[in-house]
C-alpha cells in the first residue's frame, strides 16, 4: 500500500511515542512502590530470591522502584537512554521470573514482552527527539 510507505519517514516520531507511553506507565508503576516505604520495598526486593540473591531485600526493592520511576522519566526525555533501557530490561527479567514461578507463563508474558521491547530500544536508541540525540 503506497499510502503506508510514507510512515517510514516518521521513525523518530514513533520512537518518541513509544518512549512517552512506556515512560509514563513505568512512572505510574514505580512511584507507588517508592512511596510505599520499606515494607513495600521488602516485598518487591524479595523477588531477587528467584535468582539466588536473598540479602537486603529492602535495598533491592527500593532500587527496582527507583529504576521504574526514574527510568520512566529518563525514557521520556531520552537521557542515558540505553543504560536505562537495559536496567528496565533487568527489572523485567526479575518480574517475569517472579510471575512465572507464582502464577505460570501467562502471568509472566507481559514482563517478557516488555523485556523484548527494552532490549530492542537499547539497540535502536532514543531517536533524534531526545536529550541523547547525536
In 10 A of CB 76, how many CB atoms?
20
- Domain extents in the chain: 13-124
pLDDT of residue 110: 96
**pLDDT surpasses 70 at 134:** no
**What are the tens digits of pLDDT across the range 65-109?**
999 999 999 999 999 999 999 999 999 999 999 999 989 999 999
- Total-model pTM: 0.93
Backbone angle region of 130, left / alpha / beta, with phi > 0 → left and psi within -120 to 50 → alpha:
beta
Averaged pLDDT, 113-132:
96
Tell which phi-psi region holds residue 128, choosing left (phi > 0), alpha (psi between -120 and 50) or beta: alpha
Which grid coordinates are listed for 33? 512502590
Q: What angle do CA 19, 132, 86 make, to 5 degrees?
A: 60
With beta carbons less than 8 A apart as the criterion, state whether 132 and 12 touch: no
Mean pLDDT of the region 1-22: 90
What is the predicted pLDDT for the residue at 41? 97
pLDDT, tens only, 15-50:
999 999 999 999 999 999 999 999 999 999 999 999
Amino acid at each position: 500500500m503506497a499510502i503506508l510507505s510514507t510512515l517510514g519517514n516518521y521513525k523518530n516520531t514513533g520512537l518518541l511515542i513509544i518512549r512517552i507511553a512506556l515512560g509514563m506507565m513505568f512512572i505510574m508503576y514505580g512511584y507507588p512502590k517508592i512511596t510505599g516505604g520499606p515494607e513495600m520495598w521488602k516485598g518487591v526486593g524479595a523477588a531477587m530470591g528467584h535468582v539466588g540473591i536473598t540479602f537486603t531485600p529492602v535495598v533491592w526493592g527500593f532500587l527496582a522502584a527507583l529504576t521504574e520511576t526514574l527510568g520512566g522519566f529518563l525514557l521520556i526525555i531520552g537521557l542515558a537512554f540505553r543504560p536505562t533501557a537495559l536496567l528496565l530490561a533487568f527489572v523485567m527479567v526479575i518480574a517475569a521470573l517472579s510471575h512465572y514461578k507464582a502464577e505460570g507463563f501467562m502471568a509472566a508474558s507481559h514482563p517478557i514482552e516488555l523485556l523484548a521491547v527494552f532490549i530492542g530500544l537499547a539497540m535502536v536508541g532514543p531517536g533524534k527527539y531526545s536529550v541523547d540525540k547525536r
